[in-house]
Amino acid sequence: MEKKCLEGLWVLELSHFISAPYAGQMLADLGADVIKIELPGEGKGDIARKYDPMYMNMSLYFASYNRNKRFLTLNLKSPEGQDIFKELVRQSDVVLNNFRPGVMEKMNLGYEQLKKINPGIIMTSLTGFGQTGPNVHRQALDMTIQALSGFMDLTGFPDAPPTKGGPAISDFFAGLYLTIGILAAYTYRQRTGEGQNVDIALFDTMFVLMENYPAIYHMNGEVPKRAGNGRPFSAPVGTYQAKDGAWVQISGTAEAHFEKLMTLIGHPEHVGQPGMVGAAMRKKQHEQLLNTEIQTWLGTVTGEEAVAAMDEYGIPNALVQTAEQVFNDPQITAREMLVWPEKNVLDDLPVVGNPIKMSQTPAQYHRSACAPGQDSEEILRELLGYSPEAMEQLKEKDII
């Protein structure tokens, strides 16, 4: 019998785009029963369903964050739909939503209303700026948040404009923090019986990525600057081009790694010399010299030769792989990071696996994302005891 870490956890998901659906998927992979609720009607579900590219009538964007869920259509704008939702809340543990602030309250489905129905309910709100502060009602997408959080100003090269991170970083981090918040609240409820509201903001989660820069700024007023592929306060670290054109990332900031790197590239005389002790000192006084010497050595070897040599010395390094190279990396296969759900509407296409590897209750991949309302009748029959006739009437009224 398959073991499920989160078996018995019931989640009602009202979400769209990436962040909240990703959190729901993480929970579903680990055994939670996640019911994704969307509006009935053509084109009225999660807006991500419309995003290209499409394959076998399914958005690959949507498919990437909505596996292992069950799908219910329900018109929450109608009194009947709200009543059904409240009946589901009575039997559920979590309401996961990323609507704009105030939307759930306008439907009389906010936390204060829902906890009267189920005092143990865990309500989540994932928004751009959270439920408090002057920016509560501002529109926010990933690039908005990357810009406002300071992340974009620190990304890119000093002589180039601020640059966004490649993927939608804030969405993924917010989804992960939302997952952590849900599990923490669930653990607390197991001890006390008390539910609570979990408030996650994309802005907050991106600010966390500022590392120790806020502390440095408040200590001495120093503002970190874009450092390209280097680091603002340490050296040597960067990407260098080998003689075959391959790019190699090298980190020699720790003293032990610096000593090994200098020995490997033929400059052991730097070790212990004034201005060469400590990554911060090397950054201030000798970064350009060190980068030149490292690049000179890289120009004499291929990328693979450089990696092999540094691996032998125990120096942190890596080839800069293209997306195609990563997709075919044997490490991806070994870690099961491309998976094929048992019931897959995408036929032969894989999806990205769950990075949480657990010995007793591993992530499971039962089904891919499905059509809106695919499981409506099953859910209403199983959880609320609705008859076929009652469900037919709901369909005729466009409630489900």
Q: Give the residue numbers marked as catalytic.
A: 171
The total number of residues shown for the chain amounts to 400
Place of tokens 């499409």: 54
What are the φ and ψ backbone dihedral angles of 356, each rounded to 5 degrees? -85, 115
What are the φ and ψ backbone dihedral angles of 11, each rounded to 5 degrees? -125, 130
d(CA 381, CA 288): 69
Interior CA angle at 246 toward 244 and 248, to 5°?
130
The pair of structure tokens assigned to 268 is 């052991």
Q: What is the 3-state secondary structure (H, E, C) of the chain?
A: CCCCCCCCCEEEEECCCCHHHHHHHHHHHCCCEEEEEECCCCCCCCHHHHCCCEECCEEHHHHCCCCCCEEEECCCCCHHHHHHHHHHHHCCCEEEECCCCCHHHHCCCCHHHHHHHCCCCEEEEEECCCCCCCCCCCCCCHHHHHHHCCCHHHCCCCCCCCCCCCCCHHHHHHHHHHHHHHHHHHHHHHHHCCCEEEEEEHHHHHHHHHCCHHHHHHHHCCCCCCCCCCECCECCEEEEECCCCCEEEEECCCHHHHHHHHHHHCCHHHCCCCCCCCHHHHHHHHHHHHHHHHHHHHCCCCHHHHHHHHHHHCCCEEECCCHHHHHCCHHHHHCCCEECCCECCCCCCCEECCCCCCCCCCCCCCECCCCCCCCHHHHHHHHHCCCHHHHHHHHHCCCC
d(CA 13, CA 252): 45
